[in-house]
Homo-oligomer: A and B are copies of this chain.
């Protein structure tokens, strides 16, 4: 796939984010809104929002993206808030390419750690397997954190 990356966020990306996150079939309506909200905040507040983006395009179409940002009051720690690949191009290693691209940018900025939080529910099994394939081990689990039976799993990438 002749993928190109860009980090600028355009107003039209909000719809692209909603569409591709929805295409994965993993996230619910509240999560979809949350993904778009981070892009809205970035458009309104600029870099001060703390949200940074990487978009992967194929023939001018956004087919994957990540949203990340530095963690306040830390030196070199970042949260990866979102990473998603459009259903139509999944299974070709694009998720990993986006992850590596984010890690490269963070490394250039002097960052050293990326944390990724997700749910322990069976529904997110493929998501968790993806992080482990990307070389992000599970470093903590908080049982029942989100709700009864829905714990928080924290994955970690050293950059």
Contact = CB atoms under 8 A, between A and B. Distances in A.
A147 interface: yes
What band does the interface of chain A fall in when counting residues whose beta carbon is under 8 Å from B?
A: 20 to 34
Give the number of copies in the complex. Answer: 2
A139 B143 CA distance: 10
A73 interface: yes
B146 A74 contact: yes
A100 interface: no
Contacts of A142: 115, 139-140, 154, 156
A19 interface: no
A121 B74 CA distance: 14
A30 interface: yes
A-B pairs with lowest CB-CB distance, top 6: A140-B140, A75-B147, A74-B146, A77-B145, A74-B145, A139-B142
Given A77-B146, A140-B154, 16 more contacts: A30-B73, A34-B73, A71-B145, A74-B146, A74-B147, A75-B147, A76-B144, A76-B147, A77-B144, A77-B145, A112-B144, A113-B144, A113-B145, A115-B145, A139-B140, A140-B140
Interface of A: 30, 34, 71, 73-77, 112-113, 115, 139-142, 144-148, 154, 156
